[in-house]
Amino acid sequence: MSTALDASGSWELPEELRMLRDTIRRFMAEEVRPAEDQLDHDAYTLEPGPLQALQAKAKSVGLWLFETPAEHGGAGLSLLGQCVAAEEASKCRMGMYIAGAGAFGFDPPNVIWKGTAHQQRFARKDVANGTKAFVAISEPGGGSDPGRAIQTRAVRKGDRYVINGTKIWISGAGMADWGIVFARTGDTPGRGGITSFVVDKSRPGIRLSKIPVIRSYAPYEVHFEDYEVPIEDRLGEEGQGFSLAEEWLVHARPPYAAATIGIAQAALDIATDWVRQRKTFGQHLADRQAIQWMIADSEIELRAARLMVYQAAWNADLGRDIKVDASACKVYGTEVAGRVIDRCIQMLGGMGVAQELPLERWYREARIRRIGEGPSEVHRMVVARAILGSRRD
């Protein structure tokens, strides 16, 4: 990838990523949003026929599985590229949780590509068919540090492991045929005692319970009752579960924030168009200072959040440790998005909460982003510890 600095020393996206952004933007406008317009306001998935047609079109223009390595059938984008793609692909009603309404496929958890060819069998089907997997980490008593609090156990019995326990807040489990589950093996405390397994939903001993939440895309409880996993589906060695996934977990945060920023930008675009046209008491809303300040504050915060995400991703692509960068942009990006969408609803008044527009849906969904992938408070703790730990009295 070319440098992000132009001849004058100003920062800008590399040309290939600007082209990618523009291609996704056109595809969203011409293909995805018209398909969504045929659905109910709170729908969270397209019907199989229209979805497969969209996916075929996306594949034909090279917009397929942005995170998945090229050697496994995806686009193999850099982390900066993934952030650019996530921001544009989110600009639809489903986009905060179903990027591009599913048109661009669903990346398998990237940790699976560290496994054996046998373990990758489900992921290869997802790559080919545009289907989805789930990752089961969080537990009912796990709090904000699920790795240390995992109680689900996997006990080895001969050539297999028997898993018992419950996972909670698992997105995508209802749509998936398979997933990766993290369970405790042996007596080692903390994250060092966690092992990951590839699980097949068609095997007996796994049961799902849907959890109604404020968004239409509901997570699940996943219950394991004497669920047997062949030893060849253990991902890595015993006790390596979190170390295998650590980079993947951290690197997921900048695209997560980027998608939220994309939705907020779409909301601001809607609000800007509205206030230019809407008149009250003989004056356009756009001429009122209160409205202008809402627009200005939103634009300023979005610019700052976007650059924070880009910087984190750029550092990752340079091989740098981005644990603190990722936490910072996750907090700031998700909180800015909530404020921007809230302002946009206020500018539109009653229309802001009408289901004729997507703003009220995005408002509900954006609220969850401050909790998902680690709550804001935990990421603030990561940043604070990094700063305070470097102090010298």
- Residues with a catalytic annotation lie at 373
Contacts 24+ apart (CB under 8 A), 272-275: 274/347, 274/348, 274/351, 275/347
Check: CB of residue 170 under 8 Å from CB of residue 138. Answer: yes
Check: CB of residue 331 under 8 Å from CB of residue 376. Answer: yes
DSSP state of 111: G
Q: Structure tokens of 198? A: 């590839």
3-state secondary structure of 282: coil
Question: How far apart, in whole angstroms, are the C-alpha atoms of residue 172 and residue 102?
Answer: 12
Please name every residue paired with 228 in a beta bridge, in sequence order, or none if there are none: 162
Question: How far apart, in whole angstroms, are the C-alpha atoms of residue 278 and residue 10?
Answer: 37
Question: How far apart, in whole angstroms, are the C-alpha atoms of residue 55 and residue 117?
Answer: 25
- ∠ at Cα 305 (299, 308), nearest 5°? 140
Check: CB of residue 198 under 8 Å from CB of residue 178. Answer: yes
In 3D space, the residue among 166, 171, 119, 162 whose CA is nearest the CA of residue 146 turns out to be: 166
Question: How far apart, in whole angstroms, are the C-alpha atoms of residue 254 and residue 327?
Answer: 8
Q: Structure tokens of 18? A: 């600007």
